[in-house]
Amino acid sequence: MKALRRTSALVSVFLPFFCLLCLPGISGSAEMTGPALQQPWSIQQTALQKPALATDGAAVFTDNTTLSDESPFVDDAANDSDEYAPGLILDEESPQVAVENVSFASGCRSSGCQQGCRQEPWRLFDDVCLLQRSGIEAGGWLAQGFTANFDRPPDRSNWPVGFNDRPNEYQMNQLWLYLEKPTDTGGCGVDVGGRVDLNFGTDSRYFTSYGLEDRWNGSTSDYELAMPQLYMEVAIDDLSLKLGHFWSNFGYEHAAAPRNFFYSHAMGFLSNTSKTFTGLLGTYALGDQLEFRGGFHRGWYNWEDENNDLGFVGGGTWTSRDRRTTFTADISSSKEGSTAHHTWDSIALVVTHRFSRRLQYAVEYLSFRDFGVHNSGLRTNYHSYPISQYLIYDINPCWAAAMRFEWWGEMDETRLGAQRTATPENDYSLTWGLNWKPSANLVVRPEVRWNWSSENLYIDSSRTHQVLAAFDAVLTY
């Protein structure tokens, strides 16, 4: 009976999406962290607490620890402010495939699917003369949602699902505000700018940094204030330098709600990347198809470094001539902890491809390795290597559908002298969702997600599977 129920659930998730593949336009040319599935140190069931790093360098977690430059669906103004439209909406730093002469930006067409909606997104600060004269852009969004977990976990946690980690509770995930002075040299000259972002909500727990937000946030509230970006940018011809606190931009997904198709996030994104870095990052554009990045940072989730070792971050992006395919590679390596006995290496590889003006695909490999050397002679080598796949189909300017499938593999190895132990684990996640855009400023994102594992990972570590039904709404301003 269990096998029958699982098969029925799988068919019910896959069947509606494959029906979409029969719709016209799907083919043809375009028109142109530590231990296994551990929560980031800032995430607790009810509190913020960083994993203690023992004197021998071993990370100790408590049991409670929880497409190119343009998007094909967003106009230039929307891209600059992280606006959202059906399909994946990512900014100029994201590996999103672009197709020329395709624009569903407003969410409106003469087909009548959206009667009376605005042709252009409404912006709260457009008429502020001081900002206009200074060349400063201001905006933000409100993201809020609800996740139903019919098993009602006693620990009040949907983990390893996040950022919607609270079962059967309303969450105001993000109340966001940003100020930005973009740099633009047109490939020649010098320009100076910068950006600051502030967020209040339950998602802040996932990107707070040691030595910054922990100074003003309490330790018992789900709602916290975070400042994920505060940097100055200097552009010289085709070179851009960021100095300060900025997004790591590792992988396909992003912490900012308008830049994702789904409400929930992949397990690899939650555990295998630091959402922010503090340091220096240089970006150089070599023509229209190649971009290279490199710099240093002060460690994962660090505003203040816990040791005197700087970490390395670097990568690059290649975009095909027809703008339909991208390949992005990024790497980070750093010594972590006050004794710097742990080396954390993260590698993100992302390939995106647009098959037609409606159908796009992405695959991501997001590796994390924690290599530790203890004073006792014990050596630990933890490695997780999830692979996520995304298939997105734009039904019309108002509706889009998508599926995400993730396999999480890991190996936890310890060595002491000639003795070796290794513990493997396999976890899976399947998510099916819709995006509905009733206006240029609003998107509603319902989804159904099924997680299953080889271990008792869910419902307060009592079951091998978990089913969630969730939705959120993102209002940009």
- Nearest C-alpha neighbor of 219 from the set 49, 40, 38: 49
The Cα 153–Cα 102 span in angstroms is: 44
Average pLDDT of the residues of the chain: 79
| pTM confidence score | 0.77
Domain that holds residue 465: 2-476
Q: What pLDDT, on a 0 to 100 scale, did the predictor assign at position 363?
A: 98
Of 188 and 55, the structure prediction assigns the larger pLDDT to 188
**What is the residue type of 393?**
Y
- pLDDT-derived band at 146 (thresholds 50, 70, 90) equals very high
Rg (CA), the chain: 22
Exposed e or buried b for every residue in 262-300, given b needs 16+ CB within 10 A? bbbbbbbbbbbbbbbbbbbbbbbbeeeeebebebbbbbb
The pLDDT of residue 24 is 40
200 confidence band (pLDDT: 50, 70, 90) = very high
**CATH number of the domain bearing residue 251:** 2.40.160.10
Please tell me the predicted confidence (pLDDT) of residue 375: 62
Count the domains in the chain: 1
Write out pLDDT tens, residues 257-273. 999 999 999 999 999 99
Rama region for 57: left / alpha / beta (φ>0; ψ in -120 to 50; rest): left
Cβ–Cβ < 8 Å for 357, 102 = yes
pLDDT digits (tens, 9 = 90+) for 207-234: 999 889 988 887 678 999 999 999 999 9
Q: Tens digit of pLDDT for each residue in 6-41?
A: 444 444 444 444 444 444 444 433 333 344 444 433
For range 353-361, the mean pLDDT? 97
- What is the pLDDT averaged over residues 391-415? 92
Q: For residue range 279-325, list pLDDT tens digits in order.
A: 999 999 999 999 999 999 999 999 988 888 899 999 999 999 999 99
Quote the pLDDT of residue 196. Answer: 98
473 vs 69, more confident = 473
Neighbours of 110 (CB within 10 A): 5
**Is residue 91 over pLDDT 70?**
no
Quick check: 357 pLDDT over 50?
yes
Q: For 261-320, give the DSSP string.
A: SSSS--HHHHHSS-SEEEEEEEEEEETTTEEEEEEEES-TTBSS-SSSPPEEEEEEEEE-
pLDDT digits (tens, 9 = 90+) for 422-467: 778 899 999 999 999 999 999 999 999 999 998 888 888 888 899 9
**Higher-confidence residue: 28 or 134?**
134
pLDDT of residue 197: 98
pLDDT above 50: residue 110: no
Tens of pLDDT, residue by residue over 42-73, are: 333 323 233 333 333 333 333 333 333 333 33
Interval 361-381: pLDDT, tens:
999 999 999 988 766 667 788
CA dihedral 400, 67, 29, 442 (to 10 degrees): 20
Checking if the pLDDT of 114 tops 80, the result is no
Distance CA 381, CA 414 (A): 6
pLDDT of residue 451: 95
The whole-number pLDDT of residue 340 equals 62
pLDDT of residue 449: 97
DSSP string, 8-55: HHHHHHHHHHHHHTTSTTSSS------STTPPPTT--SSS--PPEE-T
Pairwise CA distance, residues 337 & 52, whole Å: 9
Model confidence at 143: pLDDT above 90: yes
The percent of residues above 90 in pLDDT, for the chain, comes to: 56
